[in-house]
A and B are shown apart, each in its own frame.
Chain A
Amino acid sequence: MKIRITVNGTDHQLDLDGETPLLWVLRDELGLKGTKFGCGKGLCGACSVHLNGEVVRSCSLPVRYADGATITTIEGLRTNGKLHAVQQAWVDEQVPQCGYCQPGFIMSATNLLAKTPKPTDEDIDHSITNLCRCGTYERVRKAIHRAAGVSAPP
């Protein structure tokens, strides 16, 4: 089917199987490899992207549901070449280990901060449901608090 999506500010018109998960459209059709495949069932969150301002797990979202949507991926977070405050906090706190799950965490964290600019620990507990096998959770929490301190108003 024909699909129109806007990804990181660029419009794309695609003709493909509408059941294809958004993840594989991003990775294989658009070449945006920053969004990762981890579990294929929406359990781990490595594939998290923003769709019309909400975090979705793109591995489990058929692209036909994204027709007409505005999507942001990890590659789209920079503005004017500058890292997003959350990405900068991730660098400052040296959050990643293997790094594979981190784009998903960062997409979840940016969405949390857009909605709750000064999240409590409890807010973080409820919102950051991604999995990290290396165990970077403690620094993820610190980096979100750091970004909340320096985030420009949304």
Chain B
Amino acid sequence: MAILEIKNVSQEFGGLLALDRVSMTVEKGEIFGLIGPNGAGKTTLFNLITGIYRPSSGELWFEGRSIGGLRPYRIANVGIGRTFQNIRLFKKLSVLDNVRVGMHSVSRAGFVSAMLYTPWAIKRERVTREKSMALLELVGLQDKAIELAGSLPYGEQRRLEIARAMALEPSLLLLDEPAAGMNATEKEELLGLIRKIRDLGVTVLLVEHDMNVVMNVCNRIAVLDYGRKIAEGTPEQIKNDPRVIESYLGVEL
């Protein structure tokens, strides 16, 4: 069953065609990889899905509803979470608070009930705190809950961003180069985390440059080059596709 359908999407920035009639379908429950050289349009596609851009043409469908052009907070509300290529944490807030902000659309305590310390708001706060701590445990950061997010080492900051995105209780999680800057051990742990997330029922769409990560964990992969989709298939198929090898993977000497 398709969870995300991208139909003939093009994105123009002035005279530059960043995406050229791209179509793909992500099935529910799979881990789908998006690869390609820098500038191919991968992050542009992410930004389109998450509402930062509005598509110049084409349609985007999520769980049967059209999401093209919706504002980012509405996209978050329908159940799409994301991490950012160059980590956008709330640096001066605590680790726990970062995750709790992610729970914004899940908890519903409003301004008035917060200011008046109503029992209902207090109860929602407790639920938010418990769920957030559980997410920190999922990524292994529970001991750092009260530390400032900006004080975490790089790898932990990436994990925190994933925890924050998971706080949305999303059906689809977009990971933008989650392995960037990680060493081999961290990448192994990341693979484990991604599989755990998939096992929790979340579909994962992954942009990544590290082929070990991609080939190891993805069910299917799509390849973008100069804004066009040039191949789609299983890791085996992609590894051996001549167009992909020529444009991105490279030939063995």
Pairing of A with B: no
- A-side residues, CB < 8 A to B, are none
